[in-house]
């Protein structure tokens, strides 16, 4: 029973019940109008044969219409039950009224044509033959009864038969019309679903766009706005009510009004305040009429010029990096030749002290240039990542010994703190370059006493919003980095050392980024701390 009710509710929607309600309005008006005509002029055909019967038939017909209203509003019983009861009641009351008015000659039988056509259209063609057959049998039965009572009225049997044929013809025509109505309804439903899906897709696309989108109607009311536009316009949410553009973004409204007046694109970008940040942001405005109608809705596209400039700068830096790497590769061989010739001249016994000093200057500077070339060539290796699992406990222990031996410092200078064996996903050669650069900087600026350099490994937690992340902190006891140069630490070719290349920290950050990590400097009082953030091997395997 629950399944049948669900099917009924699905098939017969509100529009079916609404149509039945309107048709019942017509049914209620029929007895009222006929009764009024009968009262005004009783010499007409209506109720001529049996006035009392006609009176009671119209009264009962009106009462039935009123009861039908209650059933339709309550939607009980079901739709098909009510429609069938209404159609059979129409047949009964109309045929009785026709009998009370002198039979087929009264013309009241034509009322059943409208009743049956309406029932067929409302039911979308269902039960139409049944309604036509019921009406035909009732009309023919009434005429047969009249022939038995009045033999001279047998000639009207042909009229009753023709009227019955009209019932069936009406049913077939109504069925065709109902078929067209059903097809149109299904097409409209499908188009409605397509439009709803298209609107949802458009909404998703608009919300995911990098540019801001604001849709404004001809009255200047905001009809649609995406999250990017809200961010570019200051971050204030748009109220649910109709919001004029001039109240939400006056500068944008002024530019919009100027475009509507002149129909010319803006020559300059807008300068809008940034949400929670000082200064102004340049935002380009592009206006596109919807459907080509300049007087209707407009779509305002907001382009963040700073983002475009940043992307262009990234492309320039990438191109410059490739050019620099190619140049470095080309000068490597002649630089090696100069260095080799200098070493040969230094071995010559005929060199005077002045020549020896000059040759030493050449040798030192060629070695410095060679080191810079080596660093530049390493930039090309950031994309050659061979991810592997590195056990930091074993790796840092070995690294500390190798570093102290290579730099000729006491092993007590470097302290490694690894609480538990922890594994990270990182290219071992890249990790070695990053750690070597950080520890060499720490050694240069630290006191080189016991515990001068500390390497601390810790796990990220929920408070860091970095669960599944490993942090490697490199600290030194040096005087710290002046705030004036902290913003330039990771810029290429920036260095505070006379013999440095300025590529160490830049290359270290690039390698960390290539392995899915980050390298950051922790601003604040000493000790100086650089933090390398790595992916945990367990988290990488789970992903």
Q: Are 146 and 103 within one domain?
A: yes
Q: What pLDDT is recorded for position 497?
A: 66
Closest CA to 233 of 245, 223, 221, 243: 245
Q: Are 399 and 373 within one domain?
A: no
Which residues are 528's β-sheet partners? 476
In a domain, 203, yes or no: no
Q: Which of 322, 353, 381 is the last residue before a domain boundary? A: 381
In a domain, 198, yes or no: no
Q: Are 289 and 316 within one domain?
A: no
Q: Which of 138, 157, 188 is the last residue before a domain boundary? A: 188
Q: Are 421 and 339 within one domain?
A: no
Q: What pLDDT is recorded for position 453?
A: 92
Which residues are 534's β-sheet partners? 470
Q: Are 338 and 303 within one domain?
A: no
For position 224, which CATH number holds? Answer: 3.30.450.20
Q: What pLDDT is recorded for position 415?
A: 92
Q: What pLDDT is recorded for position 475?
A: 92
String of DSSP letters for 12-37: S-HHHHHHHHHHHHHHHHHHHHHHHH
Q: Are 7 and 91 within one domain?
A: yes
Which residues are 470's β-sheet partners? 459, 534
Provide the 3-class DSSP secondary structure of residue 535.
strand
For residue 49, give the DSSP letter: S
Beta pairing class for 298-304 and 222-225: unpaired
Task: Name every residue whose Cβ is closer than 8 Å to that of residue 272 and which is 6 or more positions away in sequence.
Answer: 232, 233, 234, 249, 251, 252, 280, 281, 283
Give a three-class secondary structure readout of 411-476.
HHHEEEECCCCCEEECCHHHHHHHHHHHHHHHHHHCCCCCCCEEEEEEECCHHHCCCCEEEEEEEE
Q: Where are the alpha helices (DSSP H) in 482-531?
A: 483-486, 504-514
Report pTM: 0.41
In a domain, 164, yes or no: yes
Q: What pLDDT is recorded for position 380?
A: 57
Range of the domain at 275: 210-308
In a domain, 195, yes or no: no
Q: Are 180 and 226 within one domain?
A: no
Q: Are 438 and 324 within one domain?
A: no
In a domain, 511, yes or no: yes
Q: What pLDDT is recorded for position 153?
A: 66
Q: Which of 348, 381, 414 is the last residue before a domain boundary? A: 381
Number of compact structural domains in the chain: 4
Q: What pLDDT is recorded for position 7?
A: 35
Q: Are 293 and 161 within one domain?
A: no
In a domain, 196, yes or no: no
Q: Are 537 and 452 within one domain?
A: yes
Taking the C-alpha atoms of residue 239 and residue 280, their distance in angstroms, rounded to an integer, is 24
For position 362, which CATH number holds? Answer: 1.10.287
Taking the C-alpha atoms of residue 68 and residue 378, their distance in angstroms, rounded to an integer, is 89
Q: What pLDDT is recorded for position 414?
A: 92
Phi and psi for 383 in degrees, rounded to 5? Answer: -90, -5
In a domain, 456, yes or no: yes
Beta pairing class for 414-417 and 453-459: parallel
Enclosing H/E stretch for 131: helix 128-149
Q: Are 331 and 395 within one domain?
A: no
Spatial contact of 121 and 181, defined as CB atoms under 8 Å apart: yes
Q: Are 406 and 527 within one domain?
A: yes
Asked if the peptide bond before residue 77 counts as cis, ω within 30 degrees of 0, the response is yes
In a domain, 182, yes or no: yes
For position 520, which CATH number holds? Answer: 3.30.565.10
| Tokens found for residue 189 | 């439903």
Taking the C-alpha atoms of residue 115 and residue 94, their distance in angstroms, rounded to an integer, is 10
Closest CA to 82 of 119, 107, 114, 40: 119
Q: How far is CA 319 from the centre of its chain?
A: 34
Residuewise pLDDT in 10s, the chain (543 residues): 333 333 344 456 677 788 778 888 888 888 888 878 777 765 666 777 788 888 888 888 888 888 888 888 888 888 788 888 888 888 888 888 888 887 787 778 888 887 877 777 777 666 777 778 887 888 888 888 877 877 776 667 778 788 888 788 887 787 777 777 777 878 888 888 888 888 888 778 877 887 888 888 878 888 888 888 888 887 777 776 778 888 888 888 887 787 777 776 665 677 777 666 656 777 888 877 776 555 567 888 888 777 666 666 667 666 666 666 666 667 777 877 777 777 777 777 666 777 777 777 787 777 767 766 666 666 555 556 677 888 888 899 899 998 898 888 899 999 999 877 788 988 888 888 889 889 988 888 888 888 899 999 988 765 555 567 889 999 998 888 888 787 777 777 667 665 556 677 888 888 888 888 888 888 777 888 899 988 887 766 655
Q: How far is CA 105 from the centre of its chain?
A: 69
């Amino acid at each position: 029973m629950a399944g049948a009710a669900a099917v009924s509710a699905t098939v017969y929607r509100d529009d079916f019940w609404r149509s039945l309600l309107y048709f019942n309005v017509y049914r209620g008006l029929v007895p009222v109008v006929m009764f009024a005509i009968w009262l005004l002029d009783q010499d007409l055909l209506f109720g001529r044969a049996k006035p009392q019967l006609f009176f009671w038939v119209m009264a009962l017909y009106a009462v039935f219409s009123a009861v039908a209203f209650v059933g339709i509003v309550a939607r009980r019983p079901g739709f098909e039950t009510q429609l069938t009861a209404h159609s059979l009641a129409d047949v009964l009351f109309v045929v009785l009224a026709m009998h009370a008015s002198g039979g087929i000659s009264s013309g009241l039988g034509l009322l059943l044509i409208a009743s049956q056509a309406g029932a067929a259209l409302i039911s979308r063609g269902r039960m139409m033959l049944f309604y036509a057959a019921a009406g035909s049998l009732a009309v023919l039965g009434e005429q047969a009864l009249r022939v038995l009572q009045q033999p001279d009225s047998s000639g009207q049997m042909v009229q009753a038969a023709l009227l019955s044929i009209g019932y069936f013809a009406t049913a077939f025509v109504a069925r065709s019309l109902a078929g067209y109505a059903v097809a149109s309804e299904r097409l409209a439903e499908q188009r409605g679903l397509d439009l709803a899906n298209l609107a949802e897709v458009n909404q998703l696309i608009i919300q995911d766009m990098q540019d801001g989108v604001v849709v404004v109607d001809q009255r200047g009311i905001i009809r649609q706005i995406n999250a990017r536009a809200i961010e570019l316009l200051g971050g204030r949410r748009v109220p649910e009510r109709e919001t004029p553009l001039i109240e939400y973004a006056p500068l944008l409204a002024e530019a919009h009004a100027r475009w509507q007046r002149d129909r010319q694109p803006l020559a300059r970008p807008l300068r809008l305040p940034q949400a929670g940040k000082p200064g102004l942001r340049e935002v380009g405005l592009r206006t596109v009429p919807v459907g080509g109608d300049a007087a209707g809705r407009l779509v305002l596209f907001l382009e963040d010029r700073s983002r475009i400039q940043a992307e262009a700068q990234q492309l320039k830096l990438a191109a410059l990096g490739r050019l620099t790497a190619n140049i470095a590769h080309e000068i490597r061989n002649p630089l090696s030749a100069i260095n080799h010739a200098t070493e040969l001249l230094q071995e010559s016994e005929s060199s005077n002290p002045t020549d020896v000093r000059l040759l030493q200057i050449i040798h030192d500077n060629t070695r410095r240039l060679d080191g810079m070339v080596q660093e530049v060539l390493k930039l090309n290796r950031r994309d050659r990542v061979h991810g592997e699992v590195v056990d930091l406990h074993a790796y840092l222990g070995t690294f500390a010994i190798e570093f102290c031996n290579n730099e000729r410092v006491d092993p007590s200078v470097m302290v490694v703190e690894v609480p538990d064996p922890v594994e990270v996903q990182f290219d071992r050669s890249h990790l070695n370059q990053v750690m070597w650069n950080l520890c060499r900087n720490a050694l240069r600026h630290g006191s080189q006493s016991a515990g001068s350099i500390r390497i601390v490994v810790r796990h990220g937690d929920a408070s860091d919003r970095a669960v599944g992340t490993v942090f490697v902190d490199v600290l030194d006891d040096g005087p710290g980095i002046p705030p004036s140069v902290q913003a330039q630490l990771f810029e290429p070719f920036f260095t505070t050392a006379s013999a440095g290349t300025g590529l160490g920290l830049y290359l270290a950050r690039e390698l960390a980024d290539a392995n899915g990590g980050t390298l950051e400097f922790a601003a604040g009082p000493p000790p100086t701390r650089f933090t390398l953030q790595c992916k945990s091997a367990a988290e990488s395997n789970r992903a």
